[in-house]
A and B are shown apart, each in its own frame.
Chain A
Amino acid sequence: MNVEAWLPRDTSAVAVGADAVADALLKAGVELMRNGSRGAFWLEPLLEVDLGGERIGFGPVTVADVPDLLAALKSEPASHPLYLGPVDAIPWLASQQRLTFRRSGLGDPLCLDHYRQLGGYAGLERALDLSPQEIVAEVTASGLRGRGGAAFPAGTKWQTVLDAPAAQKYVVCNADEGDSGTFADRLLMESDPYQLLEGMAIAGLAVGATAGYIYLRSEYPLAQRVLESAIERARAAKLLGADILVSGRTFDITLRLGAGAYICGEETSLLDSLEGKRGMVRVKPPLPAVQGLFGQPTLVHNVLTLAAASAVLAEGAAGYQALGTGRSRGTLTLQLAGNIRRGGLVEVPFGISLRQVLEEFGGGSLSGRPIRAVQVGGPLGAYLPESLWDTPLDYEALAGVGALLGHGGVVVFDDTVDMAQQARFAMEFCAVESCGKCTPCRIGSTRGVEVIDRVVAGEQHEANLALLEDLCDTMEHGSLCAMGGLTPNPVRSALEHFTEDFG
């Protein structure tokens, strides 16, 4: 048999058995390519087979399905129970607007030719013809905002670093994607790593940095292996290093690993960690753009922001700007996670409502029970009850209901959730992960756990609720960074919208 077929090798596909399925297919003589994932994790392992020039999907495939599947491929593929039809036409994928993730899952993530065939490195080539100021102007005009969570206008940051005089500047990629419910950075690094390397090189050319660092969390071993290979291959192809594409310009990337500290996703803490220190949050100002890594001007961005820079340069600012709503331009990369039937990476224009995401993409809860609460924006994001699900998903609209979009994580809970326990966990997590530099976060989180325990136990209920509110206020206004400052979000939203769980 000589079938051309694809089976993903990203973390989620492998976590649900893709390697064993691949072994079984290879043993049966199938010509198999291990691609990245399209992010439809509810279908993983998603086998794609070239049938008459069209990529037909089957999933989720287990080892036990392989013999039947191979038999069906010889006779009537459409009769197999796992048959999904042409992958591009699967409604869950077809109704997305893929921009950052347009190449994800199409081919071998490490194949440079494949990346270039699909438009890769057009952005870098264009950037090499522009002056640094012209590149920055393009990014500013695109309306691109930081995708890590804070949504700061990228162009403003680029301009600041460009304008800061220094002999050595740096581009730092924050790949410490620690928020629960988020995996967009991981998917991009594992499925389309050159897009990140290209974006970083463009950023380097723009701000005048010759050195870049990727700070990757140690919880992503597969992304580490992919990035190591991608950096090596990009160097060999003169897409990194001295004399990029025979331009005489230099930019190289060093991959560094985190060591299991959530706080190192905060940019100043990340910089201290890169310097080999404890990951302690720094007081701002000075901004990292002026005084960052090793005291030099540093452009710090999330993976998706840097990757988007290659699309902005390749397609021009106007193309990027044309997507989205209000001040939220481009696409929104949501990650649908937790108790959800059809979870995965959902890239859509800004402005879609949470309800649409939960119903049209998510298809309801995985358990089949009613959805009760949705945490948007990671562990520091608010828990939203059904009455708020019609809020449009953009930075400003969510802020208007006391929530945040953050890095785009959407974690779904069914009606078995105990919201008092979720509020307690928010405080507990803050206590475990606080860097300890400021008192409201370091001590407040521990006191928060204790106060919630007393509230739930019914000990002086009203007095302790007032105390908890007071504590949240202190943490919000007195903490040095978003960790302590935003931990009150999940706590307060749980209290406000799910009061009945607190005794």
Chain B
Amino acid sequence: MSLPVESDAVAAAIQRWENEPGGLLPLLQEVQATLGFIPPEAVPGIATAFNLSRAEVHGVISFYHDFRTSPGGRHRVQICRAEACQAVGARALERHATTLLGAGFGDTTDDGAITLEPVYCLGNCACGPSVRIDDCIHGRVNGDRLEALLAACRQPEVS
């Protein structure tokens, strides 16, 4: 691992979860929550702790849409692509988002502010189209609202 802070975070997560039945998924979730992604360099250490092969750990990481293996933007913006949102304009919203950001699904904007992702249902199906930004879910998102929400994400971070 390139940075000490990364290896520390991974080591702490391993310690917390290695003896927990089925602990690999929560471990990966914790690493991602702390670092924003799961560094590929962390895989061998995790594999050893869980008595798995590196391929098996990689297989788990690559199976789930939530996990990423490289840093994303400061904000994760997910546009719901599922049927209930499609019925109220999600397809147009998706096109609007990609045009506004100049980024497709899976991409991060050049300013590093936003990673755009698809999501299949946020459980807000009577108030769609739905967009999730980090841990907040927004409903009835039309083009104007989307623009305002994305603009807020692109404001420089106040430190």
Contacts and interface: CB of A to CB of B under 8 A. Distances in A.
Interface of A: 11-12, 14-16, 41-42, 44, 177-183, 185-186, 218-223, 256-262, 273-279, 294, 335-340, 343-344, 366-367, 375, 379, 409, 411-414, 417, 422, 425, 429, 432-433, 435
B87 interface: yes
B47 to A, nearest CB: 12
Contacts of A433: 120
B82 A379 contact: yes
Task: For chain B, give the interface size range.
Answer: 35 or more
A259 B25 contact: yes
A344 B126 contact: yes
A422 B60 contact: no
A262 B120 contact: yes
Contacts of B84: 180-181, 337-338, 409, 411
A258 B64 CA distance: 9
A343 B123 CA distance: 13
B138 A15 contact: yes
Given A16-B139, A41-B127, A274 B22 contact: yes
B59 interface: yes
Contacts of A182: 121, 123, 125
Nearest to B126: A343
By secondary structure, the B interface counts as: loop
A459 to B, nearest CB: 23
A409 B128 CA distance: 14
Interface in B49-76: 50, 59-60, 63-67
A486 to B, nearest CB: 14
Contacts of A44: 127
Contacts of B64: 258-261, 279
Contacts of A414: 87
B5 interface: no
A339 B84 CA distance: 7
B123 A412 contact: no
25 contacts: A12-B126, A15-B127, A16-B140, A41-B126, A181-B83, A181-B121, A185-B123, A219-B121, A220-B122, A257-B25, A262-B120, A274-B22, A276-B25, A278-B59, A278-B60, A278-B63, A335-B126, A336-B126, A338-B83, A338-B85, A343-B126, A422-B86, A429-B120, A433-B120, A435-B63
B142 interface: no
A264 B83 CA distance: 19
Given A11-B124, A367-B88, 6 more contacts: A180-B120, A180-B121, A183-B125, A260-B119, A276-B60, A433-B120
Contacts of A429: 82, 120
Pick from B26, B59, B127 the residue with the most CB of A within 10 Å: B127
A275 B123 contact: no
A261 B63 contact: yes
Contact of B125 (A16, A277, A411): A411
A432 B106 CA distance: 14
A37 to B, nearest CB: 10
B61 to A, nearest CB: 9
Q: Which of A15, A335, A409 has the most CB of B within 10 A?
A: A15
A180 B83 contact: yes
B25 to A, nearest CB: 5
Given A42-B126, A261-B63, A343-B127, A411 B83 contact: yes
Contact of A275 (B22, B85, B137): B22
Contact of A219 (B63, B83, B123, B136): B123
A67 to B, nearest CB: 23
A156 B138 CA distance: 41
Contact of B87 (A12, A223, A277, A339): A339
Contacts of B120: 178, 180, 262, 429, 432-433
A448 B66 CA distance: 26
A228 to B, nearest CB: 13
B132 interface: yes
Given A256-B26, A259-B65, A277-B60, A15 B83 contact: no
Contact of A180 (B25, B67, B85, B138): B85
Contacts of B126: 12, 41-42, 183, 335-337, 340, 343-344
What 5 pairs across the A-B complex have the smallest Cβ distances? A343-B126, A180-B82, A15-B139, A276-B24, A338-B87
